[in-house]
Structure 1
Amino acid sequence: MTQRYAFEALDKTLRDILGSKQEENRGKLFGGMPILLGGNFRQILPVIPKGKRQEVIQSCINISELWKDCQLFTLSRIMRVNEYTADGQLDTRKHLFNKWILDIGDGKVPAKSKEGEDEPTWIQIPEEFIVKSEKTPIEDIVNTIFLDFTQRQDDEEYLRERAILTPRNDDADEINKHMLKRIKGDAMTFKSSDEICKGSTDALEQHQTYPVEFLNKLNFPGVPPHKLKLKIGQPIMLLRNVSPSAGLCNGTRLIITDFQKFVIHARIITGSHIGNMVIIPRIVLTSTQTK
């Protein structure tokens, strides 16, 4: 997701630093230092706010002059969906789904264009990969992925091997609200403490210009809402690197074990620190959304 300009700036910086003692390093890529990049062009590309398609493509690393000197290593196994059962047998349905996902990324699945569109950008999803909706879409997909959730919500292995992915934050919020109602116990509400950064405005009366009630209604990507409802026993996911050495990284999944006014007690259920008890404090989060 990093724009190519960041890599090009790093390349020039390392050439200057490493070339100050050895002149030949000024002519080497990244000053002669090995650099390992990790990413997947099948997934999300660099984010350009309000940018058009050509602007997104121009910001990719493979458009840069650096790309021709990169050695490419390819991984083709999808880690999101485990193709093997508990006894080591290959699950044919999951294997076909993973292959279909890879074919989409490689452009092998034929695309169609809708009326008035110049370029085909739509694909047909096979029937066997679609959850049939009989009641409401959210309830149907929850019942499919989290089968017998009421009886097994305390089973960490059951929770660890399941997840629902959505492309939109609004959909994730609706699914979370639905799941929260199904978790036993009373919910506790944590409220944010919102304020305007004093260095971001010249207004002398910024508290009157931006009242707290207005700030509480704003929602930003990657930042929890003003009112965050949680329950003991609820699985949660970190959105920040709090303490990587303790296993608290962006994407770590945990189970809430207790609450205090300013901290959350939880147990890690993924990664290399499974089972460790941790305390998550309140964290100051700043949105980069300038608008």
Structure 2
Amino acid sequence: MGLIVLPVASSGIVSTLMPGGRTAHSRFKIPIVIDDCSSCAIGHDSDIASLIKHTNLIIWDEAPMQHRFSFECLDRSLRDIMKAVDKTRYNMPFGGIIVVIGGDFRQILPVIPHGSRGDVVSSTITRSYLWPKAKILFLNRNMRLNQGNSEEEILALKKFAEWVLQIGNGQVKAPIDSFEHYKNDEVLIPSDFCDPEMKNSVENMIHWTYPNFFSNYKCPRYISERAILTPTNQVVGHLNSLIVETIQGAESRYFSIDKAEDFGGSTEEMSFAFPPEYLNAINILELPVHELKLKEGVAVMLMRNLNQTLGLCNGTRILITRCLNQCVECEVITDAFVGTRHFIPRMELTPTDTKFPFKLIRKQMPLQICYSMTINKSQGQSLQRVGLFLPNPVFTHGQQYVAISRVTSHTGLKVFIEGHNGSSTNVTKNFVYKEIFYQLPTT
């Protein structure tokens, strides 16, 4: 039709799946630290403002994982920009531009550090002043699951899709029998996906998720199609270290340079209070580790949006092809940029929000090993084989649903659950904040 459309997404990895896609923060200059009075850093005479004035449609994917302040921030800015086109558009949502917001409220909601259940629910777009003005449409076909070739396979896929939705809606309950009484938030995983008789060992899980690993660990397609998912970063680090140790070849170690700034005291007090050894020992989710151990052929994931036009986004999975002195050469193994090679150097990284009384700056390559990843990090990705490892249960809304819905086939999921006494079990917790669905009409 010759109209202008701006496709954006809440995460970098999802934006690469959209033609011309960008993250919402990058496209609309939304502040990283945001509140209920924030506005986008778009000047009236800027190029992006001129583009917005001629835009007919904005598509925003993975919207439920974004804080409602981001949508309200964009709304205020678009009203201010579009009033130059027509004064009446200042009183219209998003300045009169149609905004299609896509997403699944069964998935993980905005992450609120140390926030309560009420804090998480109140941060979603359904609690925004914009929500009553929205028209809600439903998609009823699961596009992630492969279509079966036989009637039996189609029936199995349909059954799996229904079970996944029931997990997301909090409708699956563990049976109560004469031997055990399960709590209300516990679910029974079917034997097709979780065998309690199978020894719940890390070795079994790695072998199932990565069969014939030594013959295929340098194959981009083999690595990109599978991953081990688990709730916490501590377990992710342990599993990744075990897998990397089995890879043959020389190990290269890259150490970060850490420093502290914006401290209220003097330089001498800062050096005494925050020695390099202390700064090196700090591990924050937003930063790579101080000591990064890499080998040629190791799969890693980017932790920062470097260049979205080249597919180098937060969450992009890449293979190390060469370990150099000051950087590494990598090959992209996912999405539309498969096979492209890039050099990743050290760069200064700073966490956006910490409780430290100083600003931590870490100069390190924004990489982390990704044979295993957290459930939150996997959101937006599609995999053919997922080993879900639960030494501890999930701890927030949508994690269980996201983990089991990453696979493209019912045969690609295996769940390894550790019971209270260390033995294998097929019962685990599933947190669903059902109040998030109260303002959604039922289909």
User: Offset of 1:218 from its aligned partner?
Assistant: 0.9
Which amino acid is 1:41 matched to? Answer: F
Q: Which one of the candidate residues 250, 258, 261 is aligned to 2:314?
A: 250
Q: Which one of the candidate residues 214, 217, 223 is aligned to 1:153?
A: 217
Q: Which has the higher contact order (CA 8 A, sep 6+)?
A: 2
User: Offset of 1:258 from its aligned partner?
Assistant: 0.4
Which structure dedicates a bigger proportion of its chain to strand? 2
Task: Write the mapping of 1:131-146 to structure 2, written as runs, cut at 5 A.
Answer: 137-146=201-210
Percent of pairs with identical residues: 35
When the two structures are superposed, what TM-score results if normalisation uses the length of structure 2? 0.58
Matched, 1:107 2:170: yes
User: Offset of 1:136 from its aligned partner?
Assistant: 5.9
Q: Which one of the candidate residues 159, 165, 173 is aligned to 2:229?
A: 165
**Is the deviation greater in 100-109 or in 145-154?**
100-109
Which amino acid is 1:189 matched to? Answer: R
Task: Write the mapping of 1:77-96 to structure 2, written as runs, cut at 5 A.
Answer: 77=142, 79=144, 83=146, 90=153, 96=159
User: Offset of 1:127 from its aligned partner?
Assistant: 2.4
Q: 2:13 maps to what in 1?
A: none
Q: 1:63 maps to what in 2?
A: 127
Checking the alignment, whether the CA contact within 8 Å between 1:131 and 1:141 is kept in structure 2 is: no
Checking the alignment, whether the CA contact within 8 Å between 1:241 and 1:249 is kept in structure 2 is: yes
User: Offset of 1:77 from its aligned partner?
Assistant: 2.3
Aligned length: 284
Task: Write the mapping of 1:119-138 to structure 2, written as runs, cut at 5 A.
Answer: 120-130=184-194, 137-138=201-202
User: Offset of 1:134 from its aligned partner?
Assistant: 5.8
1:185–1:125 Cα change, 3 Å: same
Q: 1:176 maps to what in 2?
A: 240
Checking the alignment, whether the CA contact within 8 Å between 1:131 and 1:144 is kept in structure 2 is: no
User: Offset of 1:245 from its aligned partner?
Assistant: 1.2
1:10–1:74 Cα change, 3 Å: same
How far apart, CA to CA, are the structure 2 residues paired with 1:50 and 1:244? Answer: 31
Task: Write the mapping of 1:1-291 to structure 2, written as runs, cut at 5 A.
Answer: 1-75=65-139, 76-77=141-142, 79=144, 83=146, 90=153, 96-110=159-173, 120-130=184-194, 137-196=201-260, 198-199=261-262, 201-204=263-266, 205-291=269-355
Which amino acid is 2:142 matched to? Answer: R
Which amino acid is 1:59 matched to? Answer: S
When the two structures are superposed, what TM-score results if normalisation uses the length of structure 1? 0.86
Extract unaligned runs of 5+ from structure 1: none
User: Offset of 1:21 from its aligned partner?
Assistant: 4.3
User: Offset of 1:202 from its aligned partner?
Assistant: 0.6
How far apart, CA to CA, are the structure 2 residues paired with 1:244 and 1:112? Answer: 47
Checking the alignment, whether the CA contact within 8 Å between 1:131 and 1:140 is kept in structure 2 is: no
Deviation string, structure 1 residues 16-35 (Cα, Å, up to 9, x no partner): 23224422112211111222
Q: What is the RMSD of the two structures over their aligned residues, measured on CA atoms? A: 2.9
**Is the deviation greater in 58-67 or in 95-104?**
95-104
Deviation string, structure 1 residues 32-78 (Cα, Å, up to 9, x no partner): 12223343322211122222111211111012221122233444526
Q: 2:400 maps to what in 1?
A: none
How far apart, CA to CA, are the structure 2 residues paired with 1:170 and 1:96? Answer: 34
Deviation string, structure 1 residues 131-173 (Cα, Å, up to 9, x no partner): 6586663222111110111222232222121111221101110
How far apart, CA to CA, are the structure 1 residues paired with 2:96 and 2:219? Answer: 50
**Is the deviation greater in 62-71 or in 178-187?**
62-71
